[in-house]
Amino acid sequence: MARLDVLFKHLKESGGSDLHLGAGLPPHTRVHGEMTAVPGWNAFTDESLRAHLEEVATKEQWAHFEKNLDLDFAYALPGVARFRSNYLRQERGVGAVFRIIPERIKTLGELRMPPAVSTFADLEQGLVLVTGPTGSGKSTTLAGIIDLINTKHTKHIVTIEDPVEFVHANKSCTISQREVGQDTKSFASALRAAMRQDPGVILVGEMRDMETIGLAITAAEMGVLVFGTLHTNNAPKTVDRLIDAFPTDQQGQVRTMLSESLAGIVSQLLLRTADGKGRVAVNEILMKTPALANIIREGNTPMLHSIIQGGKTMGMQAMDDVLFGLAEVGTIDGEEAFHKATNKQRFEQFVKEEPAAAPATSPPATGPWAQVEEPPSPSRERERG
């Protein structure tokens, strides 16, 4: 048993999401978004942490780390969980971050996803993007969608990941999970090969570059249901990010292709609950309508908000509306909602007023500047903005 397994079990039992290790520091865990030191552990030296990390990696993985100074892989601890692992070099020596991947895939219902998210599992073709910042739960949401397809339909599902995170058992579907670097050289090469593997569904773990994005759009045009991820915060930014990945002279053609193939966007944030005892996913949902294609073709992405507002009966929802509703009932902190919202003015009611400054005790000012009104503080101006 690796010595770090004790820390992995502690992470699981404490309900944490990430384990952070670094030379010169004691181990820390992230629990409900907050970082705390693990009780009873002293700071690692570079030498001791290296020894601990080498036990978890294979000989090939450790050699890769020694050569490249970075390493991504998945580590499984039977009966506990899988962990997405990253090794790095830093100023004090080596470091590592492990993110827990639960062994049991949660259903969309258990994740409290809006019902509209489950409808993407029933599509026959198109491109569906799950977006959000790092740590927002994109992989967990996608795993729930793939599991629903695996339960309801009979298709060949190909996942392309770096590394493979959630491991899916074959239910009604046949599943091929490919890890970049181990089972295939790149996302693009695996995507190109997947089109010759009779796919019904393709999951692209990260759409990092123009080639991968172009191949994903093409696969969706060819009749495959393609799921992918981007690090964008809402639907308009997602569409713009896809288009901007291409040279200017190709963007018109890409807009036309995307207008036909885009089937939906689920943007996600993961926020702490107001009581600090958990976290809640907040989603913006865009679904395909006849007007969507025209807006994308014309490059009028700000109008996507109008599509969302007009599609509420279909299950579409805007991020600001969901944030406001959760803040209003006290599920999330109002000030955090304010900081995450696009329309700050709408959320000003949740921002606490700063206490008034104590009166000055120095003698009254004299001279030509004595009657000049004190300028507003920068912090108050930011709140108003």
Q: How many residues belong to the chain?
A: 385
Q: How many angstroms separate the CA atoms of 73 and 71, rounded? A: 7
The whole-angstrom separation of Cα 286 and Cα 117 is 10
Query: Is residue 156 one of the residues assigned to a domain?
Result: yes
Cα–Cα distance, 262 to 125 (Å, whole number): 9
pLDDT at 365 over 90: no
Instruction: Say yes or no: 96 and 154 in one domain.
Output: no
Q: Please report whether residue 81 resides in a domain.
A: yes
Mean pLDDT of 264-277: 95
Give CA angle at 157 (154, 161), nearest 5°.
Answer: 160
On the question of pLDDT at 377 being above 60, the answer is: no
- Which CATH number fits the domain that encloses residue 23? 3.30.450.90
| CATH number of the structural domain spanning residue 290 | 3.40.50.300
Separation of alpha carbons 308 and 296, rounded Å:
14
Residue 49's closest CA among 31, 28, 67, 26? 26
Q: Which pLDDT value is given to residue 382?
A: 42
Considering the domain architecture, whether residues 90 and 194 belong to the same structural domain is answered as no
Give this prediction's pTM.
0.86
pLDDT number for residue 357 = 53
348 within domain boundaries: no
The CA distance from 127 to 283, in Å, is 18
Q: Is residue 364 part of a domain?
A: no
Please, which pLDDT band fits residue 187 given cuts at 50, 70 and 90? very high
pLDDT tens digits along 281-296: 999 999 999 999 999 9
For residue 91, the enclosing domain spans 5-102
Residues 30 and 179 in one domain: no
Same domain, 75 and 188: no
Confidence category of residue 31, pLDDT binned at 50, 70, 90:
very high
For residue 151, the model assigns a pLDDT of: 97
The rounded distance, in Å, linking the Cα atoms of 385 and 380 is 9
**pLDDT of res. 1:** 79
Same domain for 269 and 172? yes
pLDDT score at 336: 94
Instruction: Assess whether 153 and 279 both reside in one domain.
Output: yes
Helix (H) or strand (E) holding 102: strand 93-102
Which of 288, 317, 346 represents a domain boundary (last residue)? 317
pLDDT of 367 strictly over 80? no
> Which of 41, 68, 102 corresponds to the end of one domain?
102
Number of other CB atoms surrounding residue 208 within 10 Å? 17
Say whether both 270 and 299 belong to one domain. Answer: yes
pLDDT exceeds 90 at position 102: no
Q: Look at residue 353 in the predicted model and tell me its pLDDT.
A: 67
> Total domain count for the chain?
2
Q: Residue 239: exposed, middle, or buried by beta-carbon count in 10 A (0-12, 13-18, 19+)?
A: buried
Amino acid, res. 363: P
Q: Is pLDDT above 60 for 361?
A: no
What pLDDT, in 10s, does the model give residues 337-353?
A: 999 999 999 999 998 76
* Residues 149, 285 within the same domain: yes
> What average pLDDT score do residues 54-70 get?
96
Q: Are residues 168 and 308 in the same domain?
A: yes
- Decide which of 317, 352, 372 is a domain's last residue: 317
Task: Write down the mean pLDDT value for the chain.
Answer: 91
User: Is pLDDT above 60 for 76?
Assistant: yes
Residue 208 domain-assigned (yes or no)? yes
**pLDDT tens by residue, 112-133:** 999 999 999 999 999 999 999 9
Q: How confident is the model at residue 103 (pLDDT cuts 50, 70, 90)?
A: confident
Does the residue 229 lie in any domain? yes
| Distance, CA of 162 to CA of 182 (rounded, Å) | 9
Task: Give per-residue pLDDT as tens, 202-253.
Answer: 999 999 899 999 999 999 999 999 999 999 999 999 999 999 999 999 999 9
**Confidence (pLDDT) at 379:** 42
Note whether residue 260 is domain-resident: yes
48 and 149, same structural domain? no
Give a yes or no: residue 291 inside a domain.
Answer: yes
Name residues whose C-beta falls within 8 Å of residue 101's C-beta, 6 or more positions apart in sequence.
74, 81, 82, 83, 84, 139, 165, 166
Sheet holding 174-179, edge to edge: 174-179, 156-161, 201-204, 225-230, 126-131, 262-272, 279-287
- Whether residue 98 is found in the same domain as residue 171: no
The reply to whether 167 and 75 lie within a common domain is: no
